[in-house]
């Protein structure tokens, strides 16, 4: 089977509509995304952005740039993240592992920017679009040039190693140690489970 080349994937980020091909790669760790119910109220700032807090998290939505930034100060699962809808890019900095993960998002299964914006602005909204769990294999190849993903991602991952991640096909069975998993929360209706050992650490 054809080997996966990290630089090819991130060249394709400029073409969000092009699907990523699946490749056989030994996983370093996994990222699973799923939805859970309920959302707390945050306050709005202007017509293009929202700022506020959800539990232990501080959230900023920049609708003009198509970007959501998050800081979670939960002592058990501290992490910061950027969801870049214009470039279909998810970046997460995990403080427990002192590493960053960069993954191409499948916008057909992610909650849209409009969904998140509306949810943050409406305390009584009880409807959130359904999605299915997503699993990513984080590859051993480190990101060599963070600048290509923009200043926010470069600042997020400064001084820690960053790794590419690739979405797995639905139903793919991959070995992982549940004891290595970190359970994170993105707002109060999207969860992330990050599992495995960081290469080289």
Give a yes or no: residue 23 inside a domain.
Answer: no
Give a yes or no: residue 1 inside a domain.
Answer: no
- Structural domains in the chain (count): 1
- Look over the chain and give the mean of its residue pLDDT values, rounded to a whole number: 70
pLDDT at 200 over 70: no
Give the per-residue pLDDT at 29.
47
Give a yes or no: residue 162 inside a domain.
Answer: yes
Half-sphere exposure of 33 (CA within 13 A, CB side): 20
Give a yes or no: residue 20 inside a domain.
Answer: no
Whole domain around residue 164: which residue ranges?
A: 6-14+28-196
Give a yes or no: residue 88 inside a domain.
Answer: yes
pLDDT at 140 over 70: yes
Give a yes or no: residue 80 inside a domain.
Answer: yes
Cα radius of gyration rounded to whole Å, the chain: 16
Stronger pLDDT, 83 or 53, i.e. the higher one: 83
Give the per-residue pLDDT at 76.
81
pLDDT at 28 over 70: no
Proportion of the chain above pLDDT 70, given as a percent: 49
Q: How far apart are CA 179 and CA 73, in angstroms?
A: 22
pLDDT-based confidence at residue 113 (cuts at 50, 70, 90): confident
Give a yes or no: residue 100 inside a domain.
Answer: yes
Half-sphere exposure of 92 (CA within 13 A, CB side): 28
- Stated pTM of the model: 0.70
């Amino acid at each position: 089977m054809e080997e996966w080349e990290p630089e090819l994937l991130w060249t394709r980020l400029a073409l969000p509509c092009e699907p990523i091909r699946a490749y056989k790669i030994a996983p370093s760790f996994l990222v699973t995304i799923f939805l859970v119910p309920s959302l707390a109220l945050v306050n709005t700032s202007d017509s293009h952005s929202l700022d506020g807090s959800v539990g232990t998290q501080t959230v900023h939505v920049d609708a003009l740039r198509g970007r959501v930034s998050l800081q979670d100060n939960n002592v058990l699962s501290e992490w910061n993240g950027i969801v870049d809808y214009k470039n279909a890019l998810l970046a997460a900095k995990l403080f427990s592992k002192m590493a960053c993960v960069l993954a191409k998002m499948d916008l057909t299964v992610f909650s849209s920017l409009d969904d998140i914006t509306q949810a943050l602005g409406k305390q009584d909204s009880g409807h959130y679009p359904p999605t299915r769990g997503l699993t990513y294999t984080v590859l051993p190849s480190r990101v060599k040039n963070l600048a290509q993903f923009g200043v926010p991602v470069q600042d997020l991952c400064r001084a820690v190693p960053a790794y590419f991640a690739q979405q797995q096909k639905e139903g793919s069975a991959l070995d992982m140690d549940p004891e290595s998993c970190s359970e994170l929360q993105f707002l109060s209706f999207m969860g992330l489970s990050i599992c495995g050992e960081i290469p080289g650490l």
